[in-house]
Amino acid sequence: MELAERIRGGLYGVAVGDALGGTTEFMSPLEIRARHGYLTEIVGGGVWRLEPGEVTDDTMMTLCVADGILASPADPMQAIGDRFLQWYASNPKDIGNIIRHVLGTYEGDWFEAARAADRDLGQSAGNGSLMRCLPAALCYPAWTDASRASRMQSKMTHDDGLCDEACDIYNRIAFAMLDGGAALREAIGAAVAGTGYEEMLSSDPNCEPSGYVVHTLRWVLHLLLTSDSFEEVVQRAANQGGDSDTIGAIAGGLAGVHWGYAGIPERYAGRILIGERLDETCERIVALRRSAAPGGQ
């Protein structure tokens, strides 16, 4: 599969998981069943009263990270941060507590703002940096660069080693598929080896599908390891409820890299309201990779 196909699959995968799961965020599986049966279509609504195909913070912050890296690949922190602040100024409907605190109190030092949020809120091990980290693997053809950007963007808002670790594992999986030609299960197995997530290779999540980054990543890995298609991954995330848009976005990103854009049903990809922006971002990522390739091809 061509790299551009996987990159486009990854970005659309985040958006589709977000738009589908946004309908059922904060609901229980029983409430979802009563209202939707088994949700299979992007219909909008939910707690944020979404338009069908509208995405939330998960996709918008992913685009902030992508655009920041594209603007300043060698040192993207401030470019990413500027885009976080622009997005925050747009008064988004869906924004996590930790990120709201950081963006509302930032005074020139991202890591300090993240430390203050951790201190003031008593913890910051949410999934808000994991949900947006995929562009680090999509944009950089060298793992050292992808890893550095992945951890850095996490520390900008989440001062907790659990978040750094989750972003690192996630982007290792993406990178192995993008640049190493690895299959999904093989990529997951290598990335979780020696970590607390290793048991997910043979275990159920045994936790709520919550916004706690450890619970989120356990669910994401479980969905990826036990589904046979892109569609199945994002539908199961949506019908599990809880932090369903974010779990769907995170799982959808890796599912999209694995199955490629062509593996995402057209009735999903075609529904995303910001599809043109996603397409344009994909083209710029592919161009960045070409310019970084030996010989500038």
Q: Which residues bind Mg ion (CB under 5 A)?
A: 56-58, 94, 245
166/266 Cα distance (integer angstroms): 30
Q: How far is the CB of 31 from Mg ion (least distance, A)?
A: 18
Sequence-distant (≥ 6) Cβ neighbours of residue 108 within 8 angstroms: none
Q: Which residue is nearest to Mg ion (CB)?
A: 56
- Residue 126 has φ and ψ, to the nearest 5°, of -85, 175
Dihedral angle over CA of 279, 284, 287, 292, nearest 10: -140
Q: How far is the CB of 243 from Mg ion (least distance, A)?
A: 8
Which C-beta is closer to Mg ion: that of 23 or that of 147? 23
Q: How far is the CB of 54 from Mg ion (least distance, A)?
A: 11
- Tell me whether residue 103 is exposed, middle or buried, using C-beta atoms within 10 angstroms of its C-beta: 0 to 12, 13 to 18, 19 or more: buried
Which C-beta is closer to Mg ion: that of 94 or that of 165? 94
Which C-beta is closer to Mg ion: that of 56 or that of 235? 56
Dihedral angle over CA of 38, 44, 46, 47, nearest 10: 150
Which C-beta is closer to Mg ion: that of 93 or that of 119? 93
Q: How far is the CB of 60 from Mg ion (least distance, A)?
A: 9
The b-or-e profile of 130-161 (16+ CB within 10 A means b, else e) is bbbbbbbbbbbbebebbbebbbbbbbbbbbbe
Dihedral angle over CA of 70, 74, 75, 78, nearest 10: -20
Which C-beta is closer to Mg ion: that of 10 or that of 17? 17
Which C-beta is closer to Mg ion: that of 231 or that of 245? 245
Q: How far is the CB of 57 from Mg ion (least distance, A)?
A: 4
Q: How far is the CB of 55 from Mg ion (least distance, A)?
A: 8
188/101 Cα distance (integer angstroms): 32
